[in-house]
Chain A
Amino acid sequence: MASEYAIEMLNITKRFPGIIANDNITLQLRRGEIHALLGENGAGKSTLMSVLFGLYQPEEGTIKKDGQVVKINDPNDANALGIGMVHQHFKLVECFTVLDNIILGVEPAGKFGLLQKEDARRRVIELSEKYGLHVDPDAKISDITVGMQQRTEILKMLYRDNEILIFDEPTAVLTPQEIDELMQIMRNLRAEGKSILFISHKLAEIMAVADRCSVLRKGKYIGTVNTADVTMEDLSAMMVGRNVNFHVEKKPSHPGDVILHVENMTVASKVHKNNAVKGVTFDVRAGEIVCIAGIDGNGQTEFVYGLTGLEPLVDGKIVLQGKDITNAPIRERSVSGMSHIPEDRHKHGLVLDYSLEDDIVLQRYFEGEFTKHGFLRRPNIRQYAEKLIEQYDIRSGQGPVTMARSMSGGNQQKAIIAREIDKNPSLLVAVQPTRGLDVGAIEYIHRQIVAQRDAGKAVLLVSLEMDEVLDVSDRILVMYEGEIVGELDPKKTNPEEMGLYMAGAKRDTVKKEA
């Protein structure tokens, strides 16, 4: 073959109203390499990959496959060229099975156009065994974990014999264990000669798995490096243009009054007959960050739903600042001082077809400042949105009137965080708040969370990331199978000990709070 490159994207420019998402970017993917793409939120990574996948047409630039200029008008063209993509936000049909999703669009039809699923099933099983992609072909998408959904997306690409695989932030939604598995899968794919483009905000992953890394900043191409020649600090400096402090600076905490008291909380599970949360009891005090750690699927999601009122409790009691809110409606909890950064920003956090300003006032639109005699006070909403956009550096094409849907994933997350923190809560419930954020933004958000604590707020952090848990929290509660199995001091514990608790290998007798 003529070219050493499987794919070359040359001088690509893509504009959106009010913004140049890709400004003269050149990216060259070698055959059989894992090539990472790094950049801040809104730097244009997803856009560039969407151009390669035929979802957007660039205004300028050419794309070459194996040294030949190609025109990719839509994802079908991309497919025909062997290019596949796993999107940042998955694109699966919820009510279909894994198998149906995989064959969707390339259904094997037999006589009279009847579906011939048996061959397809055999191939899917073969592929999944070959690459260690464990899925249940007959499970419905709505019933399986995000990790398995992602493996379905990967199988979808492999089933189509794609040679060039694009992974847009595949690890953002995965547990550490699943991430390790994914890394191994990617290495297997590379060994099979596939070429991989990999977007991630996690520098450690890039260092671990990628051969080379290209960096974008604000739509511009900064450079490409061999990961073997650089450090994580170098990468982050290339990406944000300054040195990033990975460690969270914080003073010792001075816990005050009990803000949140949870007693014997029990929440039913949606997937099985048992309760997902079983008699959880603890307190969060003013001026401390309590973290609920654990492996995904051990009841954290249900716990938060119960706490914030999205699901009713089977049993137990919730007291916020001395007020019993066990059966209070969501709005009452919110105005009583509870803020909630939700786990799923597209499901709960945003109305995607609202403008950014409308989404920013989602928790406050009914306040006198924004509503008068039943009418919205548009000028005040605009002003408030502009203030938060400025303060939290929320980047978008058209400022307050940008549709939330068109914003980059990380900037959507920043909008939610801005909204929830600026509500000035007495209790901040933050579930995976830094999911999908770049290192600079993570640093900023962590500082905000610590600032909330120092201002005397109670913070309840739910996180799957060991580093975040150890770095940010003042007290760690480990949740395993719906129970709190241990309370740890982040200064005295270590990842190994935490891991034992998280895996259920070790547990303390649940102690009663004083």
Chain B
Amino acid sequence: MQKSPNRESLLRKPGFQTLLASLLCIVLGLLVGFIALLIINPSGAGEAIMDIMRNFLNYSKRTTQIKNLGNTLVKTAPLLMCSLSVLFAYKVGLFNIGAAGQYVAGAGACIYCAVGLGLPWFVCMLASILAGAVVGAVSGALKAYRNVNEVISCIMLNWISLYLVNTLLSGVKNPTSPYTYSVTKKLVTVDGVQQVVDHPQALLPQLGIQGLFNNNKYVGLALPLAILLAVCIWVLLSKTRLGYELRATGLNKNAAKYCGMQDRHNIVLTMAIAGGLAGIGASMLYLTGFEDWSVTQSSVPGMGFNGIAAAFLGGLNPIASIFSSFFIQHITDGGAQLDKQVYPAEISSLISSLIIYFCGFVLFFKTSLNRWLDRRGEKPLTDKGGKA
């Protein structure tokens, strides 16, 4: 057996290499983002990139900082669910670019159940899971039984979902704005007249967590639930029989078929689970009342697409996704801190997309690192080669 110094064997660990690679992607992404800022306006670029990275730390008061950290966490939960959705499908060899549409379907379902039907939060949440799962399953079924590339069907379903949801939610729209009523309201018809009444049951429970974030009323069940689900997905993939089957299908479809796994069934199931994850993600945001849905929006919300970035940045590991989702959300919110007169807030989207771009080089990075280690290892090994 060959003995190598500890430091080297740590560098050889695939997990550690992924971490290094992800950090490198982040640095490169920020660097190129910084260059973009420089081009737009050189004088304030240094300050701007720091603002993005500082995000909630930009506020001087500690209590405001904490409250804003809470806001970032509120949006981290749905992002994490979208990244889980993407990575879960990816493990089975499917590229779920439809997380965005499944998320939209989930949003539509939970808002309608809350405002239109006046249902309590857990029913709304179930509805969003179901809606996302159905949209996902459609792509899955098209792939499994009609061999339609899932990327194509997902992109089309993203738009179909968006406009269906806009139409559906027009029924629960606030007449004075493009937005729906908040989920804390419900519509009831009394004697043929529609009335708006309070409906706090649709809000996710806060579990007292809001106390930690200076009473940020949006913080609650969502984040712990999302983290729990990340752990569940990790367990599902690595410890269970279903995970074993799904990974086999993703790695070698023919072998999966040969040993009698139901490949088609598994593809549909995978996409349904992935869709359900994205769907529940939507309810984690909308059932906090943090945002309302604008029924006039004509672009698919970016949450699902950011999920792709978070999934890849996390090296497609469910646990690492927790951190990468937080990071992506952190710099996305950081972008809002910029002086809008000078820099567009989209600069942070630019940075996160650059990061995904660089994630494409993770493999390259790992190979180069291994080569470098090989070359460096040559000498010391020669010395004790004889008795190895």
Contacts and interface: CB of A to CB of B under 8 A. Distances in A.
Interface of A: 13, 15, 18, 20, 57, 59-60, 308, 310, 329-334, 340, 342, 347-354, 358, 362-363, 365-366, 371, 374-376, 378
Interface in B146-180: none
B385 A57 contact: no
Given A59-B382, A354-B248, A362-B248, A348 B241 contact: no
Question: Interface on chain B toward A: helix, strand, loop, or mixed SS?
Answer: helix
A351 B248 contact: yes
Contacts of B247: 354
Contacts of B260: 329-334, 363
A376 B259 contact: no
Given A310-B258, A329-B260, A376-B239, A365 B244 contact: yes
Contacts of A340: 258
A371 B241 contact: yes
Interface of B: 1-2, 239-242, 244-245, 247-248, 251-252, 254-262, 374-375, 377-378, 381-382, 385, 388
B259 A375 contact: no
A351 B381 contact: no
Q: Which 6 A-B pairs give the minimum distances between C-beta atoms?
A: A331-B260, A330-B260, A348-B258, A371-B241, A351-B252, A362-B259
Given A57-B378, A351-B255, 14 more contacts: A15-B381, A15-B388, A329-B260, A330-B257, A333-B260, A334-B260, A340-B258, A349-B258, A351-B248, A352-B251, A354-B251, A366-B241, A376-B240, A376-B241
Contact of A347 (B240, B254, B385): B254
A375 B241 contact: yes
A374 B242 contact: yes
Contacts of A358: 244
7 contacts: A20-B388, A329-B260, A330-B259, A347-B255, A351-B256, A354-B251, A362-B255
A470 B29 CA distance: 66
A291 B257 CA distance: 25
Contact of A60 (B258, B259, B385): B385
Contacts of B378: 57, 59
B385 A374 contact: no
Contacts of B382: 59-60
A308 B257 CA distance: 11
A337 to B, nearest CB: 13
Contact of A342 (B256, B258, B388): B258
B381 A348 contact: no
B257 A310 contact: yes
B251 A374 contact: no
A13 B239 contact: no
Given A351-B251, A354-B251, A15 B2 contact: yes
Nearest to A305: B258
B240 A375 contact: yes
A433 to B, nearest CB: 15
A376 B241 CA distance: 6
A308 B260 CA distance: 10
Contacts of B240: 374-376
A374 B232 CA distance: 13
Nearest to B249: A351
Contacts of A15: 2, 381, 388
A376 B377 CA distance: 38
A348 B244 contact: no
A342 B255 CA distance: 10
A354 B251 CA distance: 8
B168 to A, nearest CB: 36
Nearest to A59: B381
A18 B245 CA distance: 29
A351 B252 CA distance: 6
A59 B388 CA distance: 12
Nearest to A57: B374
Contacts of A351: 248, 251-252, 255-256
A350 to B, nearest CB: 6
B3 to A, nearest CB: 12
Contacts of B381: 15, 59-60
A15 B374 CA distance: 11
A378 B240 CA distance: 10
A221 B388 CA distance: 16
A13 B257 CA distance: 40
A179 B378 CA distance: 41
A296 B229 CA distance: 52
Best-buried of A59, A308, A310, A349 by chain B (most CB within 10 Å) = A59
B74 to A, nearest CB: 33
Contacts of B258: 308, 310, 330, 340, 342, 348-349
A57 B382 CA distance: 13
Nearest to B12: A17
Nearest to B243: A376
A73 to B, nearest CB: 9
B387 to A, nearest CB: 11
Contacts of B259: 330-331, 334, 362-363
A308 B251 CA distance: 22
Contacts of B242: 374
Nearest to A347: B254
A334 B247 CA distance: 21
A133 to B, nearest CB: 29
A439 to B, nearest CB: 28
A43 to B, nearest CB: 18
Best-buried of B252, B374, B377 by chain A (most CB within 10 Å) = B252
A405 to B, nearest CB: 10
Contacts of B1: 18
Contacts of B239: 375-376, 378
A99 B157 CA distance: 40
A500 B244 CA distance: 48
Contact of B255 (A60, A329, A350, A376): A350
A349 B255 contact: yes
A150 to B, nearest CB: 21
Contacts of B385: 13, 59-60
A62 to B, nearest CB: 12
A338 to B, nearest CB: 10
Contacts of B375: 57
Contacts of B252: 347, 350-353
A364 to B, nearest CB: 9
Given A15-B2, A15-B388, A60-B382, A353 B251 contact: yes
Contacts of A353: 251-252
A349 B257 CA distance: 10
Contacts of A342: 258
A350 B374 CA distance: 29
A353 B244 CA distance: 12
B380 to A, nearest CB: 10
B241 A365 contact: yes
Nearest to B261: A331
